[in-house]
Chains A and B, each alone.
Chain A
């Protein structure tokens, strides 16, 4: 029996075991939404398409499955763009489906027409404009394969309305044949034994664990290698959670706002094992001063990352899980050395500077971490709150820190929390945000309430853009511009009108009981914390400085 292109699309998604689609309907995608009526796939209606893309991304990161988002042509598609670019920079597998105007009128600037495959080519792993309905099953199969294998990333499928209405004989392909796409999974044995040899020979090793550990679920292999060789571990922002923060070998997050123990360890090492990390600019600071004495083993699934930012002495291309396991087998047992002893002395407990009349955000995050035992899934937006969270929340489990690292997308956290909660119904999801970024996508509170998701929101309100202000303080000699809001809404009232319970605190002494309320509340809850705008993020590495040269570190 023949079915329409739109039905073929939905059936293909079902065969890819898709359970949820985050989306927003419209004209050109009409046939697909009509077909969705007859599917078991649950559609989550967000309040903007950007929210749908971020929710798919949060879902993907927590579940390890491909997240799916959907929008109509034109503005629907362009609203997805920020979410797609966010997923691209952080290597998150999502498939975005967009409606398109009919093939007969493509290129004539008709209503809600935009060249979305052209627009997203630079920041999708691949994209498809479907011209023939018979291709739909193959394209969906390829899209999921490309998105989820190798270095994961977003794939977009643009489906013109007439193609969605065309009837075809449905046949789902069993396998994918793409001669131009063959990711290298298995690391080269010779390079692996070389790496193990380097680890056995060196005096001052350190593992730099990146987002690849979280993506590849390589946390156990990482732990085995680190413990076997007594190798200290630092994480990048994206690697947060890949190694438990309470482990004696853990030295903290490195980078521009990394902890001084981590930045010093990396700088003084004679061997860096970069595992699923890409040496991003915010992670390594000035290239010339970076780890001057270190040899580098660079493990990455994307060959293009090898040698892109930092020269690698021993590159290993492949899946970090398999490679770490193999290296681990060849590494000799080593007891903690003088090096371990030395760097252990670099660790110091950050003591928040407390003024009882104000609320210290770092102290808050430390208390939140204690009360949740580091086990909640934390999403963040982008800004001071994001860095405080990465620095001071004691993450003990992988894939529990969900944040926009590469693109630095404000407005990410709330919709990502929705996706995360749908992926993990039983986990507590807390979105930590600032008043700046929260205002970008706060309408997604409606999506949370509508779907009975008990999302918690911790809102640090400093009535401005703290991290940009901090940049202006250091780089523009305090010529503050457009970083203080002239009007700030009543967030408690906003949250309540969306059906959240909400409360506001502004003093140190209120922290503990407020966190108790946040945790014990069954439904969605917003806790607004009034914070002084002078609260900066420290340590801080200035542009052009090596990462061991920290202000406040």
Chain B
């Protein structure tokens, strides 16, 4: 089972190390990890996809909460959230197959961001399923390189994951 967890942390050097270290020493598996600053530059948000049962997810949350640099840990409920990942795919594209690839990219609302004589680089945003489907379609052409950002997620509606500021 995969679970997405959103972690608000102090934007300090070494915080990511602590979190990655915690996962490795407690034997938790990270499926994907994305980090960036938030609307508040002092706070970073880490989105982690964890592989494991309910016990593992509970332990991950509790152990993360024990880190002094971790401010808030929230589980993202798939039905109540929007998750996105960005992927860059460099695919073999001889002139005779190019139009076919462009056509497919249009269907997926992907963008062609670079073209050379023998290859094209396509940018696609979406959830895991959409990205996998697109990847499958491109495979027969020959994928030279594939890079993903890792999943980021946000709750639907006005509800937001924020810290409660104290006076």
Contact = CB atoms under 8 A, between A and B. Distances in A.
A328 B105 CA distance: 69
B18 A180 contact: no
B132 interface: no
Given A179-B71, A180-B10, A180-B70, A121 B18 contact: yes
Contacts of B166: 179
B62 A304 contact: yes
A178 B68 contact: yes
Given A117-B14, A180-B10, A308-B59, A122 B21 contact: yes
B25 A304 contact: no
A304 B21 contact: no
B37 interface: no
A304 B68 contact: no
A146 B69 CA distance: 12
A304 B65 contact: yes
Nearest to B71: A180
Contact of B63 (A118, A181, A304): A304
A303 interface: yes
Nearest to B55: A307
Nearest to B10: A180
Contact of B68 (A126, A302, A303): A126
A117 B66 CA distance: 17
B15 to A, nearest CB: 10
Nearest to A178: B68
A302 B18 CA distance: 19
Contacts, number: 39
A125 interface: yes
Contacts of B21: 121-122
B58 interface: yes
Contact of A180 (B9, B14, B22, B63): B9
A180 B14 CA distance: 15
Question: Which of A121, A122, A179, A302: most chain B Cβ within 10 A?
Answer: A179
Interface string B51-83: 000010011001101111111000000000000
Contact of A129 (B14, B62, B67): B14
A121 B17 contact: yes
Contacts of A302: 66
Interface in A111-150: 117-118, 121-122, 125-126, 129, 146
A127 B107 CA distance: 51
A139 to B, nearest CB: 12
Interface residues of B, number: 22
Interface in B5-54: 9-10, 14, 17-18, 21-22, 25
A63 B160 CA distance: 46
A122 B68 contact: no
A122 B65 contact: no
A118 B14 CA distance: 8
Nearest to B26: A122
Contact of A304 (B9, B59, B70): B59
B163 interface: yes
Contacts of B63: 304
Given A121-B21, A122-B21, A122-B25, A307 B58 contact: yes
Nearest to A304: B62
A278 to B, nearest CB: 13
Nearest to A155: B68
A125 B18 CA distance: 11
B52 to A, nearest CB: 14
B59 A181 contact: no
Contacts of A303: 62, 65
A115 B71 CA distance: 25
Contacts of A307: 55, 58
A124 to B, nearest CB: 10
Contacts of B14: 117, 129
A16 to B, nearest CB: 18
A180 B62 contact: no
15 contacts: A118-B17, A122-B22, A125-B68, A126-B67, A146-B68, A178-B68, A180-B10, A180-B67, A180-B68, A180-B70, A180-B71, A181-B68, A302-B66, A303-B65, A307-B58
Q: Which 9 A-B pairs have the closest CB atoms?
A: A304-B62, A126-B68, A180-B71, A181-B68, A122-B25, A179-B71, A180-B70, A180-B68, A121-B21
